[in-house]
Amino acid sequence: MLYRIKQFLVCAAAMASLAVTPLNLHSQEVIMQKAISLDLAHAIAQAALDNCRSHNYHPAIVVIDASGALKVVLRDDGSGPQNTDTARRKAFTALTFKGNSSDQVKIWETQKIPNIGPDRVALAGGVAIKAGNEVIGAIGIGGATSSERDEACALAGVAKYADKLK
């Protein structure tokens, strides 16, 4: 019985010392990060669509935010039903690897067993959207006559608003 009382007192003392110890609030501080607005996401998507249409391509375009959530989906007239999902996966690939999906494709091509993973795709056409060096989203395009042309349209859309992304 004495042993149990001793255990109880040790536990109570430990809990009391924790209760009076000041908490370290570093993990609860406010995190400041940039985020892509719906208006900017839509403007980039529309600029990319305009570029694609100027070459007579009719793609699907997806813009996602830094968390991978959909911000904008545009599916042009004549775009196939599979293009929207492909565009989303291209955007997710670009977001995940913080660059162009075509750069990641080159890396995967050098690997014996590439770890592509779910929601990623080994195709060009995804471009990370950066504010300075911080990735705030990504755009993916599917449906031009090649993935490289998808990427060219995506790059044109981002370039048009480069001044807002500084």
Specify the 3-state DSSP secondary structure of 50.
Answer: helix
pLDDT digit string, tens, across residues 62-100: 999 999 999 999 999 999 999 999 999 999 999 999 999
Residue identified by tokens 């809990």 is: 15
81 in any annotated domain: yes
Q: Which residues pair with 74 in a beta bridge?
A: 61
Predicted confidence (pLDDT) at residue 127 exceeds the cutoff of 90: yes
Residue at 65 is within a domain: yes
- Whether residue 149 is contained in a domain is answered as yes
CA–CA dist 44, 60 (Å, integer): 13
Closest CA to 64 of 111, 27, 29, 101: 101
The verdict on residue 109 lying in a domain is yes
Amino acid sitting at position 38: L
5 vs 130: which has the higher pLDDT: 130
Six-digit token pair at 29?
A: 């501080």
Of 120, 95, 119, 118, nearest in space to 105 by CA: 120
Quote the domain boundaries for residue 120: 38-165
pLDDT at res. 21: 55
Q: How many domains does the chain have?
A: 1
Q: Do 110 and 90 meet the contact criterion of CB atoms below 8 Å apart? A: no
Q: CB-based burial of residue 143 (10 Å sphere; 0-12 exposed, 13-18 middle, 19+ buried)? A: buried
Q: In this structure, is residue 53 part of a structural domain?
A: yes
Residue 129 lies in a domain: yes
Does any domain span residue 16? Answer: no
Bridging pattern class, strands 70-75 and 60-65: antiparallel
CATH of the domain at 96: 3.30.450.150
Residue 23 falls inside a structural domain: no
Give the model's pLDDT for residue 87: 98
Per-residue pLDDT tens digits for 40-49? 999 999 999 9
